[in-house]
A and B are shown apart, each in its own frame.
Chain A
């Protein structure tokens, strides 16, 4: 169910786009911010608002790793880029380090629901590889040491 607040926010940005379909990505982002993921019902409601088919939003959600469709995530969604530039400077190692530190595998959430670990595709920050995004923030030039400090630094 979309909250009234989310609906309001979505309606407010209609004017920024040339047509309703173009609102879809931002609308999904607005809704996702509320509980960290999108439910099936959310997609149906957004589709209804934007005069689209739910499957079209499903396609968007399935293509971009930033959307979590029917995938609840922890308070901190740790998304490590796995594409070539990052991989060349040790992304895989970083992932292993995080897995070991949080005691979860990629795709899992810690028992206290604080962390979820995901692999994602290039986030456009290849110059500062390896890198990860936690919720909406970038963390760059990761090393075995600083990544643990970063993770432990969250409340």
Chain B
């Protein structure tokens, strides 16, 4: 063990003095003094293999040249990165790399942005000594996934693809097969991949071996127009560069150094861009006519709104705007609802109640300002709670894996079913779906075992210690030993990061427990960071902008008579015939509300339903008036990601046909329903936001491409504002012995992604997932067809057996187009009970 690393080593690189800590690589030390060493196989975040020898340097006193990417510095080293020997050796290395390279740049998709081309251009030579016949690993390019096509004859064997799939993505489905010049980086027996389809292997390949199939022969880099925007599919907020050629968006790509995600993205972000080109987009305002719709003009549409609005009364109006709109639009939306339409009824989701959202915000202390994800997860223990992180927020899964694998953190996962990240975790606990609250209660009791005083003060703030640890553990489906082990880990940690996901919201469980856990750990002197892990791109922004029935902009709690109905409340009012007008933007209520039959019935009873959408959703089908809106790639504005980082969107194209930017539509509606409303309206919406939402004061929304900054803490207190009774978990019956849980599929998020043809091609068929015990008990085999039935609904699926998912649990993703999972739900239910028959 090497002790303190505070003392810096002093060395010289190309005559410049550098001081760096022990353990620094020569490559990184050189960067400190702006000396760039060319690299090839090296890739930050991946293990060093030092195989290509592009980065060789000369060290005084050492005969052999050394690879800078894996050689740590030593005190007093004198290093030359550009001496004659180095330059000529580098040239030879490139000659070797080219000796078996196909050199077919004219037909290679990578040409123009190929690292080998660039490298040979700047460091190579024109002629080669090699006259031998080149080895050919295959004749034609071959397809290994709906998104990947492969040409191994261009491979330089840097093994980045294999490493990224193993070390970052955690899938490990690629390998280096064969040896020497015959080594080929590919899939198992060159067959079709069953993987995350994240495309990370494509992104890291320096040459044209791993290529995007949907982008094949579509463009050269110099033909492309780019816009730096943000992925719309989850609240991780990966920065992406959208690129188009001749009016077609052909690529979404993550560039190194842009955004916190660098080159990290998941399948949705990298391949879900084609919704922008979809021919299913809505392009004209539509008025209900009989069973169908007829096209009308925008002025007719506004005329309709004006006439219908006059017939309604304020308390019978309401609106829902999805949390995938930018802050500017959401802020304006709540202004429009509250001030122009005069109604307090508004929400940003149809998937959970306003109070549950409030309790979650309080528990995660969302008003306490933003964080940097890398710092935030860099703690003694990372505790994943209430989220299927690997599927819901894949890039956070990559980041956590990286931090854990580098040995800096303990990783603990508490979830109702298996996930990819389990393989990296130090402890994975499976609790009974819907019993997170009991689990947390038991955990706190464990932490305070033997500390009656501490326990008493927690009881004062709401902890219940009546039920024993053993009893709670049993109800939560874990063992006392598991709990004790976890509690030991937490006790031994000084810093703890809790990644708290949307199960807490969707299943209406655990928010209180999380708040108590926070108090409990803080009382023990732990430094705690709670990170909300959310699935809609701008959920945090939506709450901050005040799109919530009980919170104004800036999380300011409203008084009782200012409060309005949440989406749940609006639907109930509608079902009772008490909703005159609803304005829904981008939220597929019928597709997402947990009880589809009820939602559809309620929506059809709304006096006048305006749905502003980009696609014909099930909710749009119920509308009296449909207004065609815009997608994230067509707008400016900002998203606030789950950890509070604000980032700019930039448009790559204009909305298609007669579709319009949502903000403009809202502006017109505001003037229609309230004459003169827009006259004193502000033109600089972000400025208006900053006036009432102090946490955005330091944000610079003009900084294009770069970061706009992180939200800062506001001193409102959400504590105790939301006092919710959490939903009790369902208890299986003899007839319906299984608990059904649902959530986002790895390739999908919400309903928007289901309009992407590329993502659609990745999904084989709708599957229902159970653990091996359940399968065995029911006598079912992997891959067979089954029926899943709840009391009110039955549908068929293919069975998938997934190791690590506990007995008695079924999982079905919520995003299959023809399998409306919310039909399994009855209103008020969070975990439907089902049975499986073959």
Does A62 lie within 8 Å of B179, measured CB to CB?
yes
**B786: CB under 8 A from chain A?**
no
Q: A40: which B residues are within 8 A, CB to CB? A: 188-189
Does B177 lie within 8 Å of A59, measured CB to CB?
yes
**A140: CB under 8 A from chain B?**
no
Q: B189: which A residues are within 8 A, CB to CB? A: 40, 58, 70
Q: A70: which B residues are within 8 A, CB to CB? A: 189
The listed residue (A55, A56, A121) touching B187 by CB distance below 8 A is A55
Per-residue B-contact encoding for A62-81, CB less than 8 Å = 1, 0 else:
11000000100000000000
**B172: CB under 8 A from chain A?**
yes
**A90: CB under 8 A from chain B?**
no
Per DSSP, chain A at the interface is helix
**A85: CB under 8 A from chain B?**
no
**B836: CB under 8 A from chain A?**
no
Shortest CB–CB separation between residue B187 and chain A, in angstroms?
Answer: 7
The listed residue (A53, A58, A121) touching B177 by CB distance below 8 A is A58
Does B179 lie within 8 Å of A53, measured CB to CB?
no
The listed residue (A53, A55, A63, A121) touching B178 by CB distance below 8 A is A63
Query: A61 vs B189: C-alpha distance in the bound complex, in angstroms?
Result: 11
Beyond A40-B189, A54-B188, A70-B189, is A59–B173 a contact (Cβ under 8 Å)? Answer: no
Shortest CB–CB separation between residue B787 and chain A, in angstroms?
Answer: 28
Q: A121: which B residues are within 8 A, CB to CB? A: 179
Query: A137 vs B387: C-alpha distance in the bound complex, in angstroms?
Result: 56
Beyond A54-B188, A70-B189, is A59–B172 a contact (Cβ under 8 Å)? Answer: no
Beyond A53-B172, A55-B172, is A62–B188 a contact (Cβ under 8 Å)? Answer: no
Query: A53 vs B423: C-alpha distance in the bound complex, in angstroms?
Result: 13
Does A58 lie within 8 Å of B179, measured CB to CB?
no
Closest to A121 in B: B179
Query: A56 vs B188: C-alpha distance in the bound complex, in angstroms?
Result: 8
Shortest CB–CB separation between residue A118 and chain B, in angstroms?
Answer: 14
Closest to B183 in A: A62
Q: A59: which B residues are within 8 A, CB to CB? A: 175-177
Query: A28 vs B172: C-alpha distance in the bound complex, in angstroms?
Result: 20
Instruction: Please count how many residues in chain A sit with their CB below 8 Å of the partner chain's CB atoms.
Output: 13
Does B173 lie within 8 Å of A55, measured CB to CB?
yes
In this complex, the interface size class of chain B, counting residues with CB under 8 Å from chain A, is 10 to 19
Query: A58 vs B173: C-alpha distance in the bound complex, in angstroms?
Result: 11
Closest to A63 in B: B179
How many A-B pairs with Cβ below 8 Å? 34
Q: B176: which A residues are within 8 A, CB to CB? A: 59, 62
Does A55 lie within 8 Å of B174, measured CB to CB?
yes
Q: Which of B172, B188, B189 has the most CB of A within 10 A?
A: B188
Q: A53: which B residues are within 8 A, CB to CB? A: 172-173, 175, 188
Q: A63: which B residues are within 8 A, CB to CB? A: 178-179
Q: A55: which B residues are within 8 A, CB to CB? A: 172-175, 177, 187-188
Does B175 lie within 8 Å of A56, measured CB to CB?
yes
Does B177 lie within 8 Å of A62, measured CB to CB?
yes
Query: A93 vs B767: C-alpha distance in the bound complex, in angstroms?
Result: 59
Q: B175: which A residues are within 8 A, CB to CB? A: 53, 55-56, 58-59
Shortest CB–CB separation between residue B781 and chain A, in angstroms?
Answer: 15
Query: A59 vs B183: C-alpha distance in the bound complex, in angstroms?
Result: 9
Query: A43 vs B189: C-alpha distance in the bound complex, in angstroms?
Result: 10
Query: A54 vs B195: C-alpha distance in the bound complex, in angstroms?
Result: 13
Shortest CB–CB separation between residue A49 and chain B, in angstroms?
Answer: 13
Q: B172: which A residues are within 8 A, CB to CB? A: 53, 55-56
Shortest CB–CB separation between residue A24 and chain B, in angstroms?
Answer: 13
Closest to B179 in A: A63
Closest to B423 in A: A51
Query: A53 vs B187: C-alpha distance in the bound complex, in angstroms?
Result: 11
Q: B179: which A residues are within 8 A, CB to CB? A: 62-63, 121
Query: A91 vs B177: C-alpha distance in the bound complex, in angstroms?
Result: 26
Q: Which residues 679-718 of B have a CB within 8 angstroms of A?
A: none
Query: A56 vs B177: C-alpha distance in the bound complex, in angstroms?
Result: 9
Q: A62: which B residues are within 8 A, CB to CB? A: 176-179, 183
Query: A70 vs B179: C-alpha distance in the bound complex, in angstroms?
Result: 17
Q: A43: which B residues are within 8 A, CB to CB? A: 188
Query: A54 vs B191: C-alpha distance in the bound complex, in angstroms?
Result: 11
Q: Which residues 126-180 of B have a CB within 8 angstroms of A?
A: 172-179
Shortest CB–CB separation between residue A21 and chain B, in angstroms?
Answer: 12
Query: A129 vs B172: C-alpha distance in the bound complex, in angstroms?
Result: 40
Query: A63 vs B178: C-alpha distance in the bound complex, in angstroms?
Result: 5
Shortest CB–CB separation between residue A97 and chain B, in angstroms?
Answer: 25
Q: Which residues 11-68 of A have a CB within 8 angstroms of B?
A: 40, 43, 53-56, 58-59, 61-63
Q: Which residues 723-737 of B have a CB within 8 angstroms of A?
A: none
Q: B178: which A residues are within 8 A, CB to CB? A: 62-63
Closest to A55 in B: B175
Shortest CB–CB separation between residue A135 and chain B, in angstroms?
Answer: 22
Query: A53 vs B188: C-alpha distance in the bound complex, in angstroms?
Result: 9
Query: A43 vs B191: C-alpha distance in the bound complex, in angstroms?
Result: 14
Shortest CB–CB separation between residue B37 and chain A, in angstroms?
Answer: 30
Query: A130 vs B534: C-alpha distance in the bound complex, in angstroms?
Result: 66
Query: A19 vs B346: C-alpha distance in the bound complex, in angstroms?
Result: 57
Q: A58: which B residues are within 8 A, CB to CB? A: 175, 177, 188-189
Query: A54 vs B187: C-alpha distance in the bound complex, in angstroms?
Result: 10
Q: B174: which A residues are within 8 A, CB to CB? A: 55
Query: A133 vs B175: C-alpha distance in the bound complex, in angstroms?
Result: 28
Closest to A53 in B: B172
Query: A84 vs B641: C-alpha distance in the bound complex, in angstroms?
Result: 60
Query: A63 vs B179: C-alpha distance in the bound complex, in angstroms?
Result: 5
Query: A54 vs B179: C-alpha distance in the bound complex, in angstroms?
Result: 18
Query: A98 vs B398: C-alpha distance in the bound complex, in angstroms?
Result: 53
Q: A61: which B residues are within 8 A, CB to CB? A: 177
Shortest CB–CB separation between residue A60 and chain B, in angstroms?
Answer: 9
Closest to A65 in B: B179
Query: A55 vs B172: C-alpha distance in the bound complex, in angstroms?
Result: 8
Q: Which residues 171-206 of B have a CB within 8 angstroms of A?
A: 172-179, 183, 187-189
Query: A53 vs B191: C-alpha distance in the bound complex, in angstroms?
Result: 14
Q: Which residues 356-392 of B have a CB within 8 angstroms of A?
A: none
Shortest CB–CB separation between residue A87 and chain B, in angstroms?
Answer: 15
Shortest CB–CB separation between residue A42 and chain B, in angstroms?
Answer: 12
Query: A40 vs B183: C-alpha distance in the bound complex, in angstroms?
Result: 19
Shortest CB–CB separation between residue B418 and chain A, in angstroms?
Answer: 14
Shortest CB–CB separation between residue A37 and chain B, in angstroms?
Answer: 14
Closest to B172 in A: A53
Q: B183: which A residues are within 8 A, CB to CB? A: 62
Shortest CB–CB separation between residue A71 and chain B, in angstroms?
Answer: 12
Q: B173: which A residues are within 8 A, CB to CB? A: 53, 55
Query: A56 vs B178: C-alpha distance in the bound complex, in angstroms?
Result: 12
Q: B187: which A residues are within 8 A, CB to CB? A: 55
Query: A56 vs B189: C-alpha distance in the bound complex, in angstroms?
Result: 11
Per-residue A-contact encoding for B242-264, CB less than 8 Å = 1, 0 else:
00000000000000000000000
Query: A103 vs B582: C-alpha distance in the bound complex, in angstroms?
Result: 84
Shortest CB–CB separation between residue A107 and chain B, in angstroms?
Answer: 13
Query: A121 vs B180: C-alpha distance in the bound complex, in angstroms?
Result: 11
Q: Which of A53, A55, A58, A63 has the most CB of B within 10 A?
A: A55
Query: A121 vs B181: C-alpha distance in the bound complex, in angstroms?
Result: 14
Shortest CB–CB separation between residue A58 and chain B, in angstroms?
Answer: 5
Query: A59 vs B172: C-alpha distance in the bound complex, in angstroms?
Result: 12
Could you show 25 A-B contacts with beta carbons less than 8 Å apart?
A40-B188, A43-B188, A53-B173, A53-B175, A55-B172, A55-B173, A55-B175, A55-B187, A55-B188, A56-B172, A56-B175, A58-B175, A58-B177, A58-B188, A58-B189, A59-B175, A59-B177, A61-B177, A62-B176, A62-B177, A62-B179, A62-B183, A63-B179, A70-B189, A121-B179
**Chain A interface residues toward B at CB < 8 A:** 40, 43, 53-56, 58-59, 61-63, 70, 121
The 3 A-B pairs of least Cβ separation, nearest first, read A62-B177, A55-B175, A59-B175
Given A53-B172, A55-B174, A62-B183, list of 5 further CB < 8 A pairs?
A43-B188, A55-B175, A55-B177, A59-B175, A70-B189
